[in-house]
Structure 1
Amino acid sequence: MLTEAEWEPFYASLERAFAVTESQEEQQLYRDLTEFDRTLGVWEGDSCVATAGAFSFRMTVPGGASLPVAAVTMVSVAATHRRRGVLTSMMRHQLDDVRARGEAVAVLVASEPMIYGRFGYGVGTFETRAEIDTARVRIAVPEGTDDVRLRYAQVTDPGVHRTCEEIYARAVPGRPGMMARQPGWDRLPMLDPEKDREGATALQCVLAEDADGTVLGFARFRVKPQWSAAGADGVVFLEDLEAVGPRAPQAAAALWRFLFDLDLTSKLVALNRPSDDTWVHLVSDVRRSSLVLRDALHVRLVDVGAALEARTYRTPVDVVLEVEDAFCPWNEGRWRLTGDAKGAVCVRTAEPADLALSVRELGAAYLGGVSLAALAAAGRVRELREGAVAEAAAAFGSDVAPWLPHGF
């Protein structure tokens, strides 16, 4: 467990491992957010040679419940201390602690995806990255979009910030994988260090409002001015965009159209959007939008029974799962899962198994964005009862793609 006196060498070791130098503002934020009783430092003499930590979050799961999760973060091992079992020891300590705290799920964002599969993490959400050629791509908006009013708002205005956080909070229950902001985390989207702007402006904000002034959504973005021999060639960098309520389609479309049409720009860059984001269905040429799908949230079921009971299922399911979990052996064995859209029960059983899979595949499928049928087709899930894959895949699915809107 890290002490406050050890913070500076701990964080310096982390920065060295990731080859970054954070701003004072960023360092202060993460120091304030650090849960010291969940943070580990490995020391050799006076030198910190490895780091790991976790934040206490609440994550939306299919069905809309808010589940306590351990958000694993700040994991590093000094290049001088690799291949000595340090990472494995930290993961062992951490998952034992997560279990002792009664958290059924751990999650992380991986700097290198190949690292964490051996500890039982599976890729549970994806993010879309896009570079849209707004000089050539047009956007068609739904009826009623012209009734949405847009106005610039000061990002740092407390009232504006509070309004944006309220919009975000309303969006969280509607999409698996989203994290409810815990105290202090509302400061994260306000981070705006100049070193990270790469020549772009400070963060800007536009609010979308109904005719009566009700805020329907917001977009936060930066603009990088650029010029070529042909003229203005600026770039818009979208940081976040949310819209909620019955008028969300119109509000979101109005915000996207605004970003497409900004003067002196010809490209819109969005680095983290849901894989089912609405704009994809509004553009005239998706090919010139340079879509890239990338792994995002890696999910680890620490308590299989409790985790599977915490979510609901899109269709009725009654299936026996033979689970392999060498790293957390308390999960190994057969579990009977019965559930539907109203709730679920998952208990140990001696009945014959219908499906055999590792906890990694369960983590991948848990939020509904990765199909058990696709995993079976890849040979990662074995069907032991005919029809069991189709039944379980339909039940585990989500109508809305899971998405992690921000890192930790």
Structure 2
Amino acid sequence: MTDAATTTPPTAAAVEASEPDAIATYLATDGADVVARMNTDFADAVLLVGRVLGGRPEATSAALVGLDARGVDAVAVDAEDEHRCRVDFDEEVTDPLMFTAALLGLVVRAREVSGEEGLTRAEQEVARLSAIRTFVTSVVAVEDVHPHLRQITFGGGDLHAFVPNGPDAFVYVLLPPPGRTELTVDQSFSWEAVPDMAEADRPVGAYYTVRRWRPEAGELDVLFVLHGDTGPASAWAARAQVGDPVALWGPRTSWDPPADTDHYVLVADETGLPAVAGVLDLLPPEASIQVVAEVASPAERQDLPDHPGATVTWLSRGGAEAGTATHLLVDAVRSLEWRGDHPYVFGGGESRALTEVRRHVRDERGCPREAVSLVAYWRHAADTDDAVEAAAADDGVEAAAAAG
């Protein structure tokens, strides 16, 4: 999902900001990913920082190599050599929620110091995301699809103005803080303001794909995978009742196939299947499509649109915990015989599983970056009992994993 920067919400690793080791925990779980995403998707911004704030004005490339609470370490390359440089934040980060703002602050400062015109990709994304709306609405219907999947319908409020922007249109479902029933945000919500909110007032939530949008009724359906109380959104969804208030920040989309695409490979676990369903609804009958879908068991397969050009490979974990069979998706994708010369690989699911798929299609299949959009919707925390719900944004500075 191609979005970024200060409006990107934090991963769950960052939510316990009051704990003494919150910064260390965040850096251990997300630091390497943040550095990788900056270097991959915001290389022009990193170069600007390296040239201007790193003291290497002749540098032709730069990369971050370290991140801590006080700043970043970078390597800038010019015609003479590689040069290590240190760039400090404007102030030390004391709350994990502030890392995105601190990183972007370096870009802003570099722009101001340089006096150069133009915008880096990071600056462009921030400007674009600042226009994203927040809709205040409520639950109007709840339906259990199976014991681990619940469809919740939102309607009312200002949702009549909602407009999907892609077949996988997704929103961040903003919920009341734990232990409370009233929303603490309204239509003026912004992620930049969250760090300044009292911890007890900060909303919780996660990204979810809109499965159906009925503009005539001003209602949308969202499928929630239930996994107990291991995530705030799952815990809320399991108890959701008609009338419960929510806010929806979005929509956003990660669907962006190149114009020459002649084949589609859709890869997902339970969390990504609503997006796959939306794509199957969109693509014309003549489209060539291969779907690889992982679920806990055959009984938990989700209904997918019957597309004449699609073949679906269902994978079962045999009841194993979600996120523990990361080889299933990549093994299935590896065994596919692709039908086109210019495939587009799209999907969503657990971070580590999609990372393996991404490496395969990029490194072994040779797919260019623009032909791969695999989004980490969540991350299994292998060393704890808690599932980490990651932002489902593939270009987010703080996203746990990202497309391409």
* TM-score (ref. length: structure 2): 0.26
Larger Rg: 1
* TM-score (ref. length: structure 1): 0.26
